[in-house]
Structure 1
């Protein structure tokens, strides 16, 4: 049995007990238990104690007022990392990322002309590419994202001579190559060849979805309480490189760049109102005397309603949350003609992402046009998904000497080939500036909108928090038992206006283990309950688990009518005690409890 005394155990500070220290969070609405000298009534005889008749039990509420530092102090880092507060749809975020990269060197790509007139010194992001930006992998990806039928550079690709035929004979044909390409793809002359929305879905599935820290095909980003309280500075750790498994979505921070977000401002405050399921009871430890403890009704010590705007109030969330982050992509080491069946083309490689995006955009494409015809024979033409071929299968007709065209293949494989060559030849002169396998662009992005507004994030947060209400309750006050006395029985009201009941402790009544405070004491009662005979014969059992009008069915209980009651009970060391209880007629007077050991059943 536990015989040590304790300092006052305040339910007011229960959240702090769970955190292992004092904090400045404010908790209201619950009275503290008495100190030991109050919890133990004045001793009249060596084995006599007074127990107050319990009054009606009232459900208490706890209010938490938290800022970022107080929330982190209360929950602790380990628990805060486990509490997921949001699953952020990455669609808008990735769209903003691609737009920022594509426009990093100007918006001339939107004009119907061969030369977009790029100048990376125009923007803050473009200037991070350095003075040699024209031959950088970053600029190569800028050109790839801004590639349109009007500005596509096909030097070094299998379309090079076909494009040259048209471009070098401007007065010969009634069409130019941008028209051929635009019509074949079914897009405008200044539309990106691989649409942004298709690339976003490819990034979600291929890059984000394959990362161990994300691991879902929708590319939804899990955000924990710890992430939010640390202003998302934890994201490179979560979504960075995983050796042997993934190259990472974000680049780890260093002396030159720090990931951060303004989603929670300096004025962030969170007010949470919870209902307590803890009840303070007084009773007797048969080996040492009177005391008190907290017992829990139900499976958790607190209940939350995070979807009630009056019981969860969040302030100080940015209207348009943004994030600073470094985004990166990597390519496979060799040139890969087709990702369709090449095991070297892993999903997160740039080649696979472009192929997947193009397949999404043109997977159902069908087209048929002859551009140059003579005597019923098509000399120059394009067929997609014709003659029994599946949608997206492209075939070029060519009967002109000196002109070569690509072999029949899927349209997305052709576009992936063009993209790979363009990425390694950012100057567009037909000579690669970047060796195969060395294109690993990194983009230091500032103030990228996350997507949802602050109000939308708060709305999305509510059901996510509610799904983890039990976890949060146990983190905050799950160790309420650490200061409980080692009672054998206690007194509670069975129902409003009903008789008081003597409760024998049950397994749900948690008490600290003398062997260590990291876990509750194991339940070791062999004969729980109250009896009328010292031999504890089952026929003399006077307590019952089920009593009409009482919801509890776990505890052995005895109604306490006015007058004297003589009982016998065994403690968890198998000592048997005689217990005499005098219940007063009048409310407001204390019960008198006398007890003494009458037998020991301990192993000898």
Structure 2
């Protein structure tokens, strides 16, 4: 023991004052006496380890050091000697000339070296030695891997620490494995470093670690073996599944482990407890025992090789156990409430189910009516017709046409203009009188247009559903439509099959839901939980469905269903389209053609080809609107639907006579008053005018498709209106929603083999065997089904029996293992069942061991 510090040590302290470890080890920061400890740790009285070179606290010229050790008075053999600098990895020493040669690396300052000799009788000798390093080149200390060690799978992490003289720092650390290119390590402020490298799969791979500081290089070399292969672990006993007829005593575990580089350890224990190391013989065999407990436990066997690779075996061990089954029907806490926003609903309900779940039926009469209103008076709706394409502007003129604004040039009615001049009658007056309307009234009213569009364009669309009570056309609006701001309506209302669609592609958009949207939904579970037993494991449960659906809802109860955050009167952006026929449609020539009876009265459309077109064509819609508007004209005349009038010119009476017969117009003139147009039906005449005017601006025939942009067609529904529509719609889909959220129980599976219920008549507890009525059809298959009164399974007592105290039955699980069930006790709240295997099973492995 020393109580003073030498001049040499004082100089040494000043030189490495930046290293706290050195200050502490030399006592520079305290006045306490120094105590280096006994450098020799001996086993017995005469055996000792002697460091030959270097001297204790010798100043080393390099970070790579060599220490020579001699063992004196040794009577037992030595298996190995290792050297380990404090914090570093141990390295094995080599015998040379009667001495052990140990090589390692150290950092700047004083380093403590642990020298450890392993004797063949299991004892160890330890010696603590010190060296110091102060040279200008970097110092290296390797944490892992150790020299001449085995590592596992690539990549391998190389970690350590480097040092430099005072006021200097290490600039770079690189690691090179074999012939691979060097990898630059990550260097931290405290000098520690780490890097991942890939090693060749071989024995004895050189690993070079290089550190650079102030132009100087220190290199240390390790030899490692890369082993990516896990050991082979085989058990001779027991098997992977063990069934025991008793729960006391011990269980024997035996096996063998083999590895190409060597076995580090084998450990055995229960999964819920600590594992214990097992002694492994030279041939890899091992034997141990573990204490048994009641019930089913998992036994683990781990084997680790020198590279850290792991092999494992898992053994299920079952011993007799007792469990209490509650003998009452237990309903789950069966009512729960969910408050779900858009993101929650998307997470809970998949896209396919969102598309299938209808929220409400959108009345298309409301939408189309709003669109027609906007087309008839675009300025009032804030639209700019001057920005529309020519065909759409032409259609707007047609829809707004009155006797006063009608333009007959280019049509067969152009002759009517000359006739009117000859008669001295304005054309508007003539048209107005003929149609019995004021000259400023549109030929077609809003309601007449709407009826024709709905009947001929909307209703025939494949995605339109007619309301079963009112016959009005509706469109199913799904949860997905609402989530996607109605964009899916582009597809729904677009072209389908031969129908060209109601809207132009990619133009429908409407924000129906606000950011505050949420749906509060209360559901009632229809599952009943039964206490049961998994024969090979222990307590288990069975869920039975007590109603058709797993979940029940009451959407009409405002306390159980609420929906907020739906916009009032949402605006729909769309481009309404009407597509014309490819060619011009001429007027008919035959009066009594296309006839039908209505309320006992015959009406005729005529023989115009327009009635052979698809109903959704623009020409058909216009013709049918005119037919619907005027076929019933003069219904109160005598005879009904027939009228006529004439014009005189001076002395000439009946110079022009106009006859009306259910829409068929014929004009006869006298005294060369003028050439009248040929007789025809009024709707054919108006259709011809519409066709000619539609192509004003030299639009080629067949291309005058009208695309009318309607940026804000308001749906006349408040948020409360939508919620009111959603309630009955979701009520109709309650089963579908239950299936989406919880399935239909048809694929239910359970580990349960038997379960307990209460007989509703007697209140007796009854044990039931699980059958196809409890789980998915065919999901549980038993060699023997039900309960038996004998261990030979010859006398069946059926799929259930009343639990009586001391009753004993026999059952078989799916794997064919046999069990004895004993009713230990029957109480008011439950029964106690003891379950045990009939015989010990799985104690040995056939052909066990590593072959």
Residue of 789, 813, 821 corresponding to 1:532: 789
Separation (CA, whole Å) in 2 of partners of 1:205 and 1:583: 76
Note if contact 1:294-1:481 (Cα within 8 Å) is conserved in structure 2: no
The answer to whether the 8 Å contact 2:422/2:673 transfers is: no
1:192 aligns to 2:442 (yes or no): yes
Which residue is equivalent to 2:772?
507
After alignment, is 191-200 or 139-148 more displaced? Answer: 191-200
Equivalence for 2:664: 393
Q: Which residue of 1 aligns with 2:140?
A: none
Counterpart of 1:357? 625
Q: Which residue of 1 aligns with 2:170?
A: none
Q: Alpha-carbon deviation of 1:50? A: 1.0
**Structure 2 residue aligned with 1:116:** none
Q: Secondary structure at the match of 1:360?
A: helix
Taking structure 1 as reference, are residues 585 and 51 closer, same or farther at Cα in structure 2, changes over 3 Å only?
Answer: closer
Could you tell me how far apart the structure 1 residues matched to 2:451 and 2:838 are? 74
Q: Secondary structure at the match of 2:806?
A: strand
Bigger shift: residues 148-157 or 221-230? 148-157
Say whether the 8 Å CA contact 2:803–2:826 is kept in structure 1.
no
SS of 2:500's partner is coil
What secondary structure sits across from 2:412 in the alignment?
coil
1:549 paired residue number? none
Displacement after TM superposition at 1:248 (Å): 1.8
Q: Indicate yes or no: 2:627 matched with 1:372.
A: no
Contact 1:157-1:421 within 8 A present in 2 as well:
yes
TM-score by length of 2: 0.53
Residue 182 of structure 1: how far off its partner (Å): 3.1
Is 1:177 matched with 2:446? no
For residues 145-192 of structure 1, what are the alpha-carbon distances to aligned partners after superposition, in whole Å with 9 as ceiling and x for unaligned?
1112222222222222213433x469x34xx43333334334443332
How far, CA to CA, are the matches of 1:584 and 1:142 in structure 2? 87
What is the SS of the residue equivalent to 2:349? Answer: helix
Deviation sequence 1:442-483 (CA, Å, 0-9, x none):
122112112333322222222111111101100011177888
Q: Indicate yes or no: 2:369 matched with 1:126.
A: no
**Mapped pair 1:149 → 2:423:** no
The structural deviation recorded for 1:67 is 1.5
2:545 matched residue in structure 1: 296
List gaps (5 residues or longer) in structure 2: 1-239, 242-270, 273-292, 297-317, 588-606, 634-640, 842-851
Does the 8 Å contact 1:372/1:378 carry over to 2? yes
Shift of 1:376: 9.8
- The aligned runs of 1:5-404 (5 Å cut-off) are 43=295, 46-58=319-331, 60-104=334-378, 106=379, 123-129=382-388, 136-166=390-420, 168=421, 172-173=424-425, 176-214=426-464, 216=466, 218-242=472-496, 245-253=498-506, 259-337=508-586, 341=609, 345-365=613-633, 366-373=641-648, 378-385=654-661, 391-399=662-670, 401=672, 403-404=674-675
Find the structure with the greater CA-based Rg: 2
Contact 2:579/2:617, CA 8 A, preserved across alignment: yes
Is the 2:532–2:753 contact (alpha carbons within 8 Å) kept by the matching residues of 1? yes
Structure 1 runs of 4+ aligned residues shifted over 6 Å read 374-377, 479-483
Superposed CA RMSD: 3.6
Partner of 1:471 in structure 2?
736
Q: Secondary structure at the match of 1:231?
A: coil
2:681 corresponds to 1:410: yes
**In structure 1, distance between residues paired with 2:324 and 2:435:** 86
Contact 2:819 2:835 in 1 (8 A): no
Count of matched residue pairs: 500
Q: Deviations over 1:299-342 (max 9, x none)?
A: 21101121222221111222222211121111011001258555
Of 574-583 and 320-329, the range deviating more from structure 2? 574-583
Q: 2:803 aligns with which of 550, 560, 563?
A: 560
Bigger relative contact order, structure 1 or 2, given CA contacts below 8 A and separation 6+? 1
**Residue matched to 2:7:** none
Q: Which residue does 1:451 correspond to in 2?
A: 716
Q: Is the 8 A contact 2:655 2:671 kept in 1?
A: yes
Q: Write the distance in 2 (CA, Å) between the matches of 1:184 and 1:569.
A: 96
**Secondary structure class of the residue paired with 1:87:** strand
Distance 1:187 1:495, change over 3 A: farther
Q: Kindly tell me: are residues 572 and 190 of structure 1, through their superposed partners in 2, closer, same or farther at Cα, counting changes over 3 Å? A: farther
Bigger shift: 265-274 or 476-485?
Answer: 476-485
The answer on 1:592 being equivalent to 2:833 is: yes
Distance 1:335 1:156, change over 3 A: same
Summarize the Cα distance change of 1:591–1:436 in structure 2 as closer, same or farther, 3 Å threshold.
Answer: same
Equivalent-residue separation in structure 1 for 2:746 and 2:533 (angstroms) = 16
In 2, the alpha carbon distance for the partners of 1:373 and 1:477 equals 84
- Counterpart-to-counterpart distance in 2, 1:185 and 1:227: 45
Normalising by structure 1, report the TM-score.
Answer: 0.73
**Contact in 2 for aligned 1:158/1:405 (Cα 8 Å):** no
Contact 1:488 1:571 in 2 (8 A): yes
**Aligned CA distance change for structure 1 residues 144 and 597 (closer, same or farther; 3 Å):** farther
Q: Distance in 1 between matches of 2:444 and 2:540?
A: 74
**What do residues 33-66 of structure 1 show as CA deviations (whole Å, max 9, x unaligned)?**
xxx99xxx97287142413315453461121211
Provide structure 1 residue ranges, at least 5 long, that are not aligned to the other structure: 5-35, 108-121, 386-390, 426-431, 512-519, 544-556
Q: Which residue of 2 aligns with 1:438?
A: 703
Q: CA, structure 1 residues 493+536, in 2 after alignment: closer, same or farther (shift >3 Å)?
A: same
2:738–2:744 contact (8 Å) kept in structure 1: no
Residue deviations 1:545-572, cap 9 Å, x none? xxxxxxxxxxxx43435x1332344545
**Residues 57, 493 of structure 1: 8 Å contact kept:** no
* 1:579 maps to 2:824: no
Q: Is the 8 A contact 1:274 1:304 kept in 2?
A: yes
Q: What is the CA-CA distance between 1:224 and the residue it aligns to?
A: 1.1
- Cα distance between partner residues in 1 of 2:353 and 2:564: 22
